[in-house]
Structure 1
């Protein structure tokens, strides 16, 4: 009888315990939401995702069992039941990823397991744009998708593209162009357009005029890398010397920027300010309509050009022209006193920060012989944490008009090598080099991989290599 009572009591206790567990933990403890679940694709600015759990979980057990394939190294942070995982680097483009949680338990209750969880996400396609040089693509914008091995000609044959920038969402390109069919005197009438790429669902090749410059001549323009803000340098056709300056295009309005005339300029990634060569220095000017542009945010004297601004807007690469005919690259953090990175006898063509802001890539033209003006181009990576320099590529030809573009995931550099000739009066619609030569052809090449440029161990470092592409064009840009 006593044994029967013991058995009955044990059954009752088991049932009560089960009821208590169900009451305290209704349903199996699980992942309630994944922040990238509904994303069509992630891009370079998507640097963190979150998992929200239905119950308080043991952090260590979750971190030990959360897997991403292919691996994406990162850091764990917690906010109550929410796990926030921040990537060390942007996810490489053109990949499918699988996230899985196979084990883990509740906080202080190792016997209560988390329901297994898995999800997939993908990064954006790896794609570029360039100005074609093949006979049927000459002067037209072309997009090539490496992930899908697909090429699309975006602009019509009657427009000759002079320069362009991709919009942040990669759905459009902003470009300047002239009408091939115009009379000679109208070939300098550069107009500003946008064209769709087909990436965001719209058909590719849909053209929109952004700025009609019937009264002004467009000299140069810049599109903010993380915003739709555009700044254009224009001159009045009737009185170019007296009416020359910058104009802001934002939210469908075109307004003059009330500041002193300047030279080359670049925009903050978020479009809130402009770095302008002005008065023998670099002026950082606010584009906030409530702030007087005459009240400079900061002024860097004795610098000739702002080369680039990091994605977070905190770092600025500056170019200085020295009295002894050398050039120096400096960088400033949070608008502090600039620090010198390198000095060379030659020319700094361009420089770009990597997505993390830890590496500055520079395209240099090193002078070999001052009497014959022979020079050699090279691309270098400058580690901004220890200020070491590593050469990635050196070109044998005296190619002075290179252009390069760093991929948004920081994995590759694409650059062009041009074929040029003396300009002809009847070919005013042909893109020109900064030295005035007509560009008649170009080959595109890439440097990969770049993910190990900061490695110091010879055993772990993978040497970047130059790979030619079977694409003929100039002025390549990776799509964001």
Structure 2
């Protein structure tokens, strides 16, 4: 007992001379995605904040803000980390709080990487024709996900990136006026968890049936942002008046949500409601069968896109002079007209930070003969400055997708036949027969407006396909 008391006294007199060190790094050896917005360094003892902040380095650099909670340093990213990149977090020469001079921490070096840059698209040529294809841009690897005898008509990636929800039918049941697609999921083979959960790497191409077409035809569908809810517009094969939206909730069977004529619909960012546009106005409906609308916006025709935080929406309004207006509508009821066109707004998408809005629009060109021009524009939602990004004088059908890190935009250029489609032809949404289509990658940093006749800043990918979509 005397010896033990003596040892305790010596420790109290001399103090704990162990060097401070990083006890835990929340992103150590993890793969992170757009959902991961901050990391945490936990120290074994209180640290001198100024010395830590002055000596913390991230390579390559990632701008962010620092905050403290006791012994925990929280680093919040200013923007999503660029995908397909390996990072190091280094810290040395930092001092403990109220420590002795020269009692520096043990040098620390942590590592993490972001998800691979990966996209999905529908193939148009050869053995890829009609199939859902995954292309890992980081590793330059291409993977067909669906069988050769299936035609995929639409798809939506799950927010974790490990699965894709898609509609498909056999080639024998594909064609004008035929709606024989069933709903499936397929694994991508990509790790599907964020840094807050263990990484997993399922095998690519594992398919599960989600909804058959025995009694109902399955038309449009949407997947909720949290990946838990699916909404489908269905039509009864025997009684066409029995049509409307159906919903699949977690641990529940499919059930009718709303019986009414079809229209555009989009699940809201909180995954708890849908914005439905049956023809006039936009109704916000809870995902509860036959429930009354939560809100109704009679001024607008449809919602083009929601920001991921649910604060903003891009909405379309038709005007009495045959023009169309693009509006920015907030959850506080603010409405601002951004642009007006004498043609048509085709698509809009917010970037992940909701600082930019990218849109495709058709414009009528004045001249001796009627002509149209397809424009891709970016809108800064702080200054409302409009940046032309791409102009095509002979417009074809086009779809676009903004990358999750906001650094690039993917779009297609579809080439169609002037004749009616044959049974072996893939078709666009308006029924035109597709002969081929290329995929283009446009950087969204250091960009300049371009037309199809000028020198191109975009990269043509070595792929032939349409309907491109970045994986989250």
Say yes or no: TM over 0.5: yes
1:248 aligns with 247
In structure 2, how many angstroms separate the alpha carbons of the residues matched to 1:408 and 1:129? 13
CA contact (8 A) 1:99 1:119 kept: yes
The 3 A distance-change label for structure 1 pair 470 and 183 is: closer
1:264 aligns with 264
2:74 aligns with 84
2:398 aligns with 402
CA drift of 1:404 comes to 0.4
The 3 A distance-change label for structure 1 pair 103 and 396 is: farther
Residue ranges of structure 2 left out of the alignment (5+ in a row): 1-6, 192-200, 449-454
Q: Aligned ranges for residues 117-132 of structure 1 at < 5 Å? A: 117-132=108-123
1:154-206 alpha-carbon deviations (Å, 9 max, x no partner): 11011011111111111111111111134989943111111111113222111
Q: 1:433 aligns with which of 414, 428, 431?
A: 428
In structure 2, how many angstroms separate the alpha carbons of the residues matched to 1:116 and 1:451? 35
1:275 aligns with 275
1:307-349 alpha-carbon deviations (Å, 9 max, x no partner): 1111112211111111111111111222513211111111111
Radius of gyration: which is bigger?
1
Q: Normalising by structure 2, what TM-score?
A: 0.89
Q: Is it true that 1:470 corresponds to 2:462 in the alignment?
A: yes
**Worse-matched range after superposition: 416-425 or 308-317:** 416-425
In structure 2, how many angstroms separate the alpha carbons of the residues matched to 1:51 and 1:278? 50
1:221 aligns with 221
Give the 3-state SS of the residue equivalent to 1:343 in structure 2.
strand
In structure 2, how many angstroms separate the alpha carbons of the residues matched to 1:18 and 1:259? 80
Q: CA RMSD for the aligned pairs? A: 2.5
Q: Is it true that 1:234 corresponds to 2:241 in the alignment?
A: no
The 3 A distance-change label for structure 1 pair 187 and 347 is: closer
Q: Is it true that 1:314 corresponds to 2:311 in the alignment?
A: yes
Q: Aligned ranges for residues 40-439 of structure 1 at < 5 Å? A: 41-109=31-99, 111=101, 112-182=103-173, 187-200=178-191, 201-240=201-240, 242-251=241-250, 253-258=253-258, 260-278=260-278, 280-287=280-287, 289=288, 294-369=291-366, 372-399=369-396, 401-421=397-417, 424=420, 426-427=422-423, 430-439=425-434
In structure 2, how many angstroms separate the alpha carbons of the residues matched to 1:129 and 1:28? 49
In structure 2, how many angstroms separate the alpha carbons of the residues matched to 1:276 and 1:77? 41
Residue ranges of structure 1 left out of the alignment (5+ in a row): 1-14, 456-462
The 3 A distance-change label for structure 1 pair 179 and 279 is: closer
CA contact (8 A) 2:242 2:259 kept: no
CA contact (8 A) 1:447 1:464 kept: no
In structure 1, how many angstroms separate the alpha carbons of the residues matched to 2:129 and 2:281? 38
In structure 2, how many angstroms separate the alpha carbons of the residues matched to 1:168 and 1:272? 16
In structure 2, how many angstroms separate the alpha carbons of the residues matched to 1:64 and 1:364? 47
CA drift of 1:431 comes to 3.8
In structure 1, how many angstroms separate the alpha carbons of the residues matched to 2:59 and 2:13? 34
In structure 2, how many angstroms separate the alpha carbons of the residues matched to 1:181 and 1:261? 28
In structure 1, how many angstroms separate the alpha carbons of the residues matched to 2:10 and 2:153? 73
Give the 3-state SS of the residue equivalent to 1:62 in structure 2.
helix
The 3 A distance-change label for structure 1 pair 341 and 355 is: same
CA contact (8 A) 1:227 1:270 kept: no
2:198 aligns with none
In structure 1, how many angstroms separate the alpha carbons of the residues matched to 2:246 and 2:367? 40
In structure 1, how many angstroms separate the alpha carbons of the residues matched to 2:29 and 2:269? 26
Give the 3-state SS of the residue equivalent to 1:474 in structure 2.
strand
CA contact (8 A) 1:285 1:293 kept: no
